[in-house]
Structure 1
Amino acid sequence: MNLSDVYQIGDLRISKITEQVFSALSVAQLYPDATPHLLEATSSREQMRQDTPVEMSIHSWLVETPQHRLLIDTASGNFKDRPFSSIFHQLQSPWLGNLERAGVRPEDIDFVLHTHLHVDHVGWNTVWDGEKWVPTFANAMHVCSQAELDFYGTPAAAPRLMLFEDSIKPVRDAGQLATINNGGEEYLPGIKFHPTPGHSPGHMSISIESGDGLVVFCGDVMHSPLQVALPQWNSVFCAEQVAARVSRRWLLEYAEVNCATVFTSHFTKCSVGHITKANGQYAWAFI
């Protein structure tokens, strides 16, 4: 990693821990509502068409506060069987080395805060010790919403149950998993979980106050800047269409009104930016 991946906001030092960048889906594949007319009207500078590949990043955010070292999500993990997608199957990524290059060892992490429990957000929860999957962060408490955990007890979770078995259950069995109520709450002083369901049942956005500044980690409320200009667009991955749109509009308003710095899960470039509003239209600006 390099200095451009590190952000100092108030007394927070926030580092991007990258796993991989890929362009597997076109605009039309990612956003079913992406008509040529709307694309022409909203993205002329980018010259995006329906068949334009959408570049996306998979990464985590390391947050160092005066009191704690936190991770926001843990990417996809290495050597895990993911037969449903070659993007995540049996990876051999440099994520763990990138974390250590940021000056932090796995045992230094105090908390892992999960926006949700999808494949590309929980993978590094565990590593293979030669016999079984064990927690990567031996001293960390993992935190997620109760609804995210409950989902893995439903029939709908059957196609992804291997995620629970290799990346969530070992952490829970080690006594390192705590849940918060689905209405959101302040988990640590100045660190709040905000319910933003739709992409998944118990998806949360996470805000952290730092002096006069506010940062927000939006998880998968948005997958690319197109959804800032077009918040009515859901990605193909949104489970609950109406709730996803409501959550996205809430996030945009919350970030704009509070002048928050937004840390995204899948935007490329720096993955960090600000949201502004003019004439009823939201806009994204990378920092």
Structure 2
Amino acid sequence: MPQPAARSQITIGDTTITSLPDGFGAHNPDVLFPGVDWTTRPGFLEDGQLILSFGSFLIRAGGRRILVDLAVGKIDVDVPGVAQLKGGSLLRNLAEEGLSADDIDTVLYTHLHLDHVGWTSDVAPLPNTPATNSPTGLTFARARHLMSEDEW
């Protein structure tokens, strides 16, 4: 069974950056990258699938706790012929860093693709989500949420 990238960390001076995995997508490589000869790229495929990890970066600097992107969220979706997507580990990985959602003071979105905004609320923003699964609030309710004007 495919697995997301492992949690990892780097410290530069007084700043620590931690990669917090949330999940992964097992993608059909021919759909994602048509025409690529994967035989010339050994080690890129696992059981014929291209595995892409979803996650966030936690930056701790100067007393601040910043999350860069909010991964994919709680999902388990099969897109026939395209990909199988699984997520939901971000809050557990954050807790393993000794933090909760209330400890995050800033969320920074690099862009607003689905795999970068999944934990914005308690319901991942998948297309065709039933109305019964409406969000009830922000996951990181105490944090200031930032993005570029072009993304907004």
5+ residue gaps, structure 1, are 150-287
Match of 2:146 in 1: 143
Distance 2:7 2:100 in 1: 21
Match of 1:70 in 2: 66
Offset of residue 98 of structure 1: 1.3
Structure-to-structure mapping, 1:122-201, within 5 angstroms = 122-127=117-122, 132-149=135-152
Determine which of 18, 21, 28 is the counterpart of 1:18.
21
TM-score by length of 1: 0.40
Of the two structures, which has the highest relative contact order with CA contacts closer than 8 Å and spacing of 6 or more? 2
1:106-136 alpha-carbon deviations (Å, 9 max, x no partner): 11111111111111110111126x9842011
- Alpha-carbon spacing, 1:10–1:24, altered in 2? closer, same or farther (3 Å): same
Structure-to-structure mapping, 1:21-60, within 5 angstroms = 21-26=24-29, 28-35=30-37, 40=40, 43=41, 46=42, 52-60=48-56
Give the number of the structure whose alpha-carbon radius of gyration is greater. Answer: 1
5+ residue gaps, structure 2, are 1-5, 124-132
Offset of residue 148 of structure 1: 1.8
How many residues were matched structurally?
135
1:46-99 alpha-carbon deviations (Å, 9 max, x no partner): 3668x94212111111110123110010011226999897526xx6x2321211
Offset of residue 145 of structure 1: 1.7
Match of 1:118 in 2: 113
Distance 2:106 2:118 in 1: 15
Question: Percent of counterpart pairs with the same letter?
Answer: 30
RMSD of aligned alpha carbons? 3.3
TM-score by length of 2: 0.71
Distance 2:17 2:78 in 1: 30
- Alpha-carbon spacing, 1:147–1:9, altered in 2? closer, same or farther (3 Å): same
